[in-house]
Amino acid sequence: MSELFNVISAQRACRSFRDVPVTDAELELILDAAVHAPSAENRQPWEFVVVRDDAARAAIGEIISRGWEAVGREFSSSRLSPDLLADVERGATGGIAAAPVHIVVGADTYRGLAATSAESVFPAVQNLMLAAGALGLGTALTTIAVGFADELRAIVGFPNHIRPMAVVPIGHPARPLGPPRRDPFAIRSHRDRYGTPWS
Ligand SMILES: Cc1cc2nc3c(=O)[nH]c(=O)nc-3n(C[C@H](O)[C@H](O)[C@H](O)COP(=O)(O)O)c2cc1C
């Protein structure tokens, strides 16, 4: 049990990876964790394309980089802390592309409810990232590429009724990520009514 809490507490976005492969055995543990997530009506609308192919990863990386150059950098530059901005920039301009595996996550809009696509898919993405963390692997939940849904669909072969939701790079972190910066739960938690402090 304590291992679970340690993995949750250590989870960070990783945008820089070593050139070390991720095995199928690791990916199977990760994907099995993903599909144990809850989903509306238990429709399990997730689809995961595990991309190792060099050309496909380069194409995904190119979309991410293009999205960053076109709108991401300008949008984010006044919103993110300098450290986070620099890390997101490094990720968008090659760090994410260099991950040995990209998992492109889709929501099947026939199988699931359109209104709850995100709510049904992102718990699985979180499971996936925590399982990767438990194996010592780094991940990042990225969505910049989903703004280019048709291009992303074409790269991984998603039909039109599968909506790309995220690209999660997976690999061995290039460096220790350090502890995440999060507000303490007590300032976001309330007893009985919003505004009644936890402590
Ligand atoms: C919905 C969502 C979209 C995100 N999109 C991106 C993205 O496109 N690129 C990226 O580098 N990080 C992305 N992130 C990662 C966040 O930047 C990261 O979770 C947050 O800054 C916390 O950083 P930490 O995990 O290192 O503490 C996204 C996270 C979420 C939840």
Characterize 130-164 residue by residue with b for buried, 16 or more Cβ atoms within 10 angstroms of its Cβ, and e for exposed.
bbbbbbebbbbbbebbbbbbeebbebbebeeebbb
pLDDT for res 2: 87
Q: Does domain 2-177 have CATH number 3.40.109.10?
A: yes
Q: What are the pLDDT digits (tens) for 110-168?
A: 999 989 999 999 999 999 999 999 999 999 999 999 999 999 999 999 999 999 999 99
pLDDT for res 3: 94
Q: Look up tokens 């290039």; give the residue.
A: 174
> Can you give the residue ranges of every domain in the chain?
2-177
pLDDT beneath 50, residues of the chain:
none
- Whose C-alpha lies nearest to ligand 1, atom 7? 142
Sign of the dihedral defined by the CA atoms of residues 100, 102, 103, 108, in that order: negative
- Whose C-alpha lies nearest to ligand 1, atom 24? 12
Distance 12 CA to ligand 1 centre (A): 9
Q: Is 13 in the pocket of ligand 1 (CB under 6 A)?
A: yes
Q: What count of other Cβ atoms lies within 10 Å of the Cβ of residue 192?
A: 6
pLDDT for res 1: 60
pLDDT for res 29: 98
User: How far apart are the C-alpha atoms of 58 and 97, rounded to whole Å?
Assistant: 6
